[in-house]
Amino acid sequence: MGDWLGTGTISNRKKSFLTFNDARKYVLKLRLKSETEWRKFCAGKLKFKRPSNIPSNPDQNYADSGWVDWKHFLGSDNISNREKSRNWRLFSEARSFVRALGLNSSAEWRAFAQSDERPSDIPAQPENAYKSKGWISYPDWLGSSENRSKNSKYLDFHAARDFARSLKLKKPSDWKKYTKGKIKGVPPLPSDVPATPYRKYAESGWISTHDWLGLAPKKKLIPYHIASEIVRRNQIRTGNQYRDEVSDNSIHHTEDGYLPKSPPEAYSEKWTGWGDFLQTGKVANQDRAFLPFPKAKRFIHSLKLMTLKNWKLYSKGKLQSVGIRPPNIPSNPNITYAGKGWVNFRDWIG
């Protein structure tokens, strides 16, 4: 007809197309998700054009030479979930098939679901596909209660931990993100694995989040006496300097462990003050031993300072005529002796 009309158009029946297998290999690379997308592809509405040696109606051209259906032609993994859901097996049939596999945990199911052995009409995420259609739990799906905690909807610790480790999360904080659906590329949290395993398994195997996820164990805290020696060698003289250098990871040492960001909290049982930890000999005001209020006041009265200005100069060591303030006399008596006899500075000075 093309020759008769002078259009040059050749009918599909006379065109030379690729064999079914070769055409399918090409189409699989396109990763089209439905017959609708295929029609758009043929109409030139996508970014790539259909080669002339691939028919626009493969279901007709390959009807007797390999054609099965659209999901086979496009690749079952490329079919959208909505289109796949039309072809899932009935829940009871799918569950019977899965139970015959003899899988023992949701972790084993995940491994099977991601393999080539899973039939295309059985969903990888049955808890979603069969929601409100018969789904109960993974123990029910697999037909085994061996890994289910007694009188509980959750798997036992070891089975649940196997699943958590199969996710290949990178750090402890990823678990919380995962339970909230904020980690992409991993299956959702199964209904039989708790979001707070440290509570559920507190007395049945729980060690740490590092262990739960299969991560390397957390480094140990460097003992107090070794940490004190490290900071001395690094010539750290104040608490602020220590905190800055710990934050910058600039304290050099070869110990197998870590220095805490807050030594007073980390070493609470041995902590006596920064002066001892940094080995400077300095003692914080709150740790010093001051005279009782009556004795301290009598001492100050004996100086005959007379004015508040003179007291301030004296407390700072700037009133040489009366000497230097002893370490057992506080520079802020209103704070040190609050509730212990303090009245006001007029009473203090005398």
Among 61, 83, 105, which residue terminates a domain? 83
More confident residue, 312 or 149: 312
d(CA 230, CA 222): 10
Instruction: Evaluate whether 292 touches 331 at the Cβ level (below 8 Å).
Output: no
- Residues 248-270 have pLDDT tens digits of 777 877 777 888 888 888 888 78
Among 283, 310, 328, which residue terminates a domain? 283
What is the mean pLDDT of the segment spanning 4-25? 66
Same domain assignment for residues 63 and 12 = yes
Q: What is the pLDDT of residue 233?
A: 87
Closest CA to 154 of 91, 206, 211: 206
Residues in Cβ contact with 74 at an 8 Å cutoff, skipping those fewer than 6 apart = 27, 28, 32, 33, 34, 35, 38
Quickly tell me which residue has 């051209």 as its tokens: 61
pLDDT above 60 for 70: yes
More confident residue, 56 or 249: 56
Q: What is the pLDDT of residue 10?
A: 45
Residue 141 falls inside a structural domain: no
Phi, psi dihedrals of residue 17, rounded to the nearest 5°: -100, 160
pLDDT above 50 for 3: no
Same domain assignment for residues 163 and 209 = yes
Instruction: Evaluate whether 218 touches 208 at the Cβ level (below 8 Å).
Output: yes
Local structure of residue 258 (DSSP, 8 states)? B
Same domain assignment for residues 301 and 257 = no
Residue 194 falls inside a structural domain: yes
Reported as a pLDDT band with limits 50, 70 and 90, residue 282 is: low
What is the mean pLDDT of the segment spanning 6-16? 52
Assign residue 235 a region (left: φ > 0; alpha: ψ between -120 and 50; beta: otherwise).
left
* 93-102, 175-184, 250-259: the lowest-pLDDT one: 250-259
Residue 166 falls inside a structural domain: yes
Among 55, 83, 111, which residue terminates a domain? 83
Residue 129 falls inside a structural domain: no
pLDDT above 50 for 4: no
Closest CA to 57 of 43, 45, 46, 47: 43
Count of domains observed in the chain:
4
Same domain assignment for residues 277 and 303 = no
Same domain assignment for residues 233 and 203 = no
Q: What is the pLDDT of residue 285?
A: 54
Residue 134 falls inside a structural domain: no
Mean confidence (pLDDT) of the chain: 80
Phi, psi dihedrals of residue 135, rounded to the nearest 5°: -65, 135
d(CA 167, CA 130): 23
More confident residue, 28 or 252: 28
- Which whole-number Å values give the CA distances from 271 to 70, 275, 277, in the listed order? 73, 10, 8
Quickly tell me which residue has 């989040």 as its tokens: 209
pLDDT above 90 for 103: no
Same domain assignment for residues 6 and 55 = yes
CA dihedral 133, 109, 217, 149 (to 10 degrees): 60
Q: What is the pLDDT of residue 60?
A: 83
Residue 135 falls inside a structural domain: no
Q: What is the pLDDT of residue 207?
A: 82
Alpha helices, DSSP H only, in 197-332?
Answer: 197-200, 209-213, 224-233, 239-247, 263-266, 274-278, 293-303, 308-315
d(CA 287, CA 95): 70
Same domain assignment for residues 298 and 278 = no
Instruction: Evaluate whether 332 touches 283 at the Cβ level (below 8 Å).
Output: no
Same domain assignment for residues 7 and 57 = yes
Structural domain including 39 reads 2-83
pLDDT above 50 for 237: yes
Same domain assignment for residues 230 and 278 = yes
Q: What is the pLDDT of residue 174?
A: 92
Residue 130 falls inside a structural domain: no
Closest CA to 349 of 290, 313, 297, 314: 297
- Residues 294-321 have pLDDT tens digits of 988 999 999 888 888 888 888 877 787 8
DSSP string, 330-341: -S-HHHHTTTTT
Residue 336 falls inside a structural domain: yes
pLDDT above 80 for 89: yes
More confident residue, 76 or 171: 171
d(CA 307, CA 303): 11
Same domain assignment for residues 199 and 165 = yes
Quickly tell me which residue has 């009598």 as its tokens: 298
Same domain assignment for residues 266 and 309 = no
What is the mean pLDDT of the segment spanning 135-145? 74
Distance between start and end Cα atoms, the chain: 124
Same domain assignment for residues 173 and 235 = no
